Amino acid sequence: KRTLLPLLRDEISGFVFPCRLTLQRPELKHMVVDLLKCIPLLVFLLLVCGLDHLIFSVLSIIQNYSFVQYSYQTSHHMTVNVMGTSLMAQLLRRTIGALNSSFENQVETSNLVCLPKPRGMTREQYLSTCLPLVALALLCLAQVYPLRLRRAIAAFFFPKREKTRVLFLYNKLLRQRENFFQLQRSRIARRARQPPGLGTWLLERCRRRWPWLRRWQRRSCTLCGTPGTPWHQVCPALDCGALYCDRCW
């Protein structure tokens, strides 16, 4: 509960608040990992669609520029003329005259049957192919909110286990906060032992000479960096003047 252990500014980013609609930092990590898993599927889908379009283009070129049509036409005329008026000429005219023939042959053919007949995918088919991947990416974004219900469901069925988890989290935060403040104290002590820079020295001299300039000076908490307010505490040590917010103080 917030009244039991108010979270510091640096600690808020490590927790997930179920009532917030925005995506929070712990959730972003899992969401980014799930989205990265969709990249191989996206690459595979683009490769397949590109290969399909390439094969369709090649087959279309073959169909358009490889069409060959053949036209074959022949004619045959045979005529036997027997001259004369004798009996033998008449007999030959009747017998050999049957050999007279005349015919024409015209053949047209092409390789249309052997040519490929490709059918390209329409825009609707491409969209229907990509829709499952888009739905998967949207599910990766939307899964954040249902996953927040895990703790509530587990706490409803296992209340004792939930109490143990809360106590463990409370003690863990206390240990982390103690270590955090020890590190911050050592960091501030090292910074205080360093000689001030030229700009800091000039600013401090101006503040001491003209105290009314302190109204326009923008100061922040030495520990967490929150902007200064009238409720911030000033270190009572001589020649220190460090500013701290209420929680850090």
**How does 64-99 read in b/e, with b if 16+ C-beta sit within 10 Å?**
eeeeeeeeeeeeeeeeeeeeeeeeeeeeebeeeeee
Domain contains 32: yes
* Range name among 38-47, 75-84, 194-203 with the lowest pLDDT average: 194-203
Q: Provide the domain limits for residue 145.
A: 23-157
Q: How far apart are CA 106 and CA 36, in angstroms?
A: 67
Please give the model's pTM, rounded to 2 decimal places: 0.57
**Is the separation of the CB atoms in 26 and 15 below 8 Å?**
yes
Q: Which of 17-21, 59-63, 170-174, 196-200 has the lowest mean pLDDT?
A: 196-200
Could you give the number of structural domains in the chain? Answer: 1
Secondary structure (3-state) at 20? coil
Residue 50 domain flag: yes
C-beta separation of 45 from 129 below 8 A: yes
**Is the pLDDT higher at 162 or at 233?**
162
In which band, very low, low, confident or very high, does the pLDDT at 2 lie, cut at 50, 70 and 90?
A: low
Nearest one of 213, 223, 230 to 247, comparing CA atoms: 223
Residue 227 or 140, more confident? 140
On whether residue 98 sits in a domain, the answer given is yes
Instruction: Identify whether 133 is part of a domain.
Output: yes
Judge whether 30 lies within some domain.
yes
Residue 215 domain-assigned (yes or no): no
- Quote the mean pLDDT of the chain: 83
Residue 38 lies inside a defined structural domain of this protein = yes
Task: Taking residues 30-48, report their average pLDDT.
Answer: 92
Q: Model confidence over 150-176: pLDDT tens digits?
A: 988 999 999 999 999 989 988 998 888
Question: Could you tell me if residue 76 is inside a domain?
Answer: yes
